[in-house]
A and B are shown apart, each in its own frame.
Chain A
């Protein structure tokens, strides 16, 4: 079957760097996405990795290793507003469809 694992909670302090890991088991893997969701808000798209390596977008970077079935989201210069849940999602090929499977989310608490 298809599965994703990510930590349920991470805590860090303002100005620090935090890494949120995501490991997956899927067949027909296409790519790994990351989303941010603040309490009571809608998930917002952060990044998509289809190839191995690091993609940087401002303070956020996302990494993928297809051979290790592993990726991570790296948040630098943490700010209080980064406190949110972060979801990884894997796109994979399922017969005639391309589907998305979601992790359960990592709750990030940024403390002063």
Chain B
């Protein structure tokens, strides 16, 4: 079964900590994405990448950075975690092309205290 794997299902971190969320896909997909999902706000794009070492800002990049050193891995970094970054974080990947759907990971529920 092809899949997107996120390193942690639940994570609790303290305010000010540097947080790493890891995502690995085994489908040789070119595109990878990081979203956060909050009640009433839907899915919001943080960063995306169309190729190795390439990254582009999404709609809400502030307070986040990303790294894509290998095609299969896309990491989201919270430089200094804050309570308003408490959320469900979803990683997704897709092939290049308009009619390919996204494959999502199971998500990481991050709580910042």
Contact = CB atoms under 8 A, between A and B. Distances in A.
Given A43-B90, A50-B98, A97-B56, A105 B42 contact: yes
B43 A42 contact: no
A90 to B, nearest CB: 12
A85 to B, nearest CB: 10
A86 interface: no
A5 to B, nearest CB: 12
Nearest to B94: A45
Interface in A74-112: 87, 91, 97-100, 102-105
Contacts of A98: 98
Interface string B86-113: 0000101000001111111111000000
A33 B43 CA distance: 14
Interface residues of B, number: 19
Contacts of B4: 42
B78 interface: no
Contact of B106 (A33, A42, A104): A42
B101 A33 contact: yes
B42 A102 contact: yes
Given A43-B104, A97-B56, A30 B43 contact: no
A40 to B, nearest CB: 8
B102 A45 contact: yes
Contacts of B105: 42
Main secondary structure of the interface of A (DSSP, over half): strand
B103 A45 contact: yes
B45 interface: yes
A44 interface: yes
A75 B106 CA distance: 24
A87 B98 contact: no
Interface of A: 30-31, 33, 35, 41-46, 48, 50, 87, 91, 97-100, 102-105
8 contacts: A42-B4, A42-B105, A43-B43, A46-B101, A48-B100, A100-B45, A100-B102, A103-B42
